[in-house]
Chains A and B, each alone.
Chain A
Amino acid sequence: MGYLVAAYLILWLGIFGYLFWMGGALRGLRAELGELRAALVARAPEVPEEQEPVAAPPVTPPPVELRGR
């Protein structure tokens, strides 16, 4: 019976701990993003872009293949 309790406890601690950690990360990131955006706005006028911001550097072109087939 104690095992049952232990299993459920660990499970919920794991899941809620994770959720809790993510909530904290979200709060911190919201603040950070707010600061960054403010800093950028202060430097340049806001210009609407068409596409979603690309998180990674631009896609590298596929490798140049020189097969004389």
Chain B
Amino acid sequence: MAQLALPRQATGATATAPWIWLLNAVSLVGVMASLYLALWWTPKEAVEGDVFRIFYIHVPIAWNMYVAFFVVFAASILYLWRREPIWDRVARVSAEIGLLFTTLVLITGSIWGKPVWGVYWTWDARLTTTLVLWFMYLAYLLLRSYSSEGGQAPRYAAVLGIVAFVDVPIVQYSVTWWRTLHPQSDILAPGHLTGSMLLGMFVSLVSFTLLGLALFVQRYRVESMRDEARTLRQRLEEAEG
């Protein structure tokens, strides 16, 4: 019977590293600062008034959504190339975070749309593309959860991750062109951002990116520990069997 070797990290690997505490703290401070700026410091927008302030959270979350998708793409390529489990873990964590952000983008965008357009949803180019993106993230996660055990799931998911990401610009282009062919009366036009608004947006962008990173790190740790637990359970079963 194979000797049971405990991995070196068996002691205290789950303690939270200092840099993680720092990241969490900085992103928390940053987010609170951006909240203050967005809700009080920046001037009221000329056309839309206070409702426009949703923009300060909507845009950074949308940015995070695209970053997460890119990470899924890059990690998928790395996984197929190197076949190291770490890349698969990065991909699936990023996909889950990305789905969360996409959902929030759709919801905040929809809430913003109601007072501005009068309706919760219009099939304009950006909203439609985001919805397709949502479905792609969802497909990725469903593929993973519906895969039969056997180690193929990471490979399949990686293929989907690559194909979906390459498709995103094409979807964007085709939906945008479709919309220009069949225009609707209301087109999403956030208007110009002036001086102080730009600062507010910039702070929001930076702090939400950090927040996204903090969420990713946290979720990654959960997955990493889950994988480790599974490995240990397997070894335990081998020992008993």
Contacts and interface: CB of A to CB of B under 8 A. Distances in A.
Whether chains A and B associate is yes
Interface of A: 1, 3-4, 6-8, 10-11, 14-15, 18-19, 22-23, 25-26, 29-30, 32-33, 36-37, 39-41, 43-44, 46-50, 52-57, 59-60
A3 B55 CA distance: 12
Contacts, number: 130
A32 to B, nearest CB: 5
Contact of B211 (A1, A15, A26, A29): A15
Interface of B: 3-10, 14, 39, 50-51, 53-54, 57-58, 61, 83-85, 88-89, 100, 103-104, 107-108, 111-112, 114-115, 151, 154, 211, 215, 218-219, 221-222, 224-233, 235-236, 239
Per DSSP, are chain A's interface residues mostly helix, strand or loop, or mixed? helix
A49 B5 CA distance: 7
Contact of A37 (B6, B51, B111): B6
Given A18-B100, A26-B218, A46-B10, 18 more contacts: A3-B54, A7-B107, A10-B104, A14-B104, A19-B218, A30-B225, A32-B229, A37-B232, A40-B6, A40-B232, A40-B235, A47-B6, A49-B5, A49-B6, A50-B8, A55-B231, A56-B85, A56-B88
A46 B3 CA distance: 10
Nearest to A8: B57
Contacts of B228: 33, 53, 55
A44 B2 CA distance: 11
Contacts of B4: 40, 43-44, 47
Contact of A14 (B9, B89, B103): B103
- Nearest 8 interchain pairs by C-beta: A55-B227, A44-B4, A53-B7, A36-B232, A29-B225, A47-B5, A56-B85, A7-B111
Contacts of A47: 3-6
B151 to A, nearest CB: 6
A10 B111 contact: yes
Given A3-B111, A26-B225, A48 B8 contact: yes
5 contacts: A15-B104, A29-B229, A52-B9, A55-B89, A60-B83
Given A6-B111, A56-B151, A44 B232 contact: no
A18 B84 CA distance: 27
A43 B229 contact: no
A57 B151 contact: yes
Contact of A54 (B53, B85, B112): B85
B162 to A, nearest CB: 18
Given A33-B225, A55-B89, A11 B230 contact: no
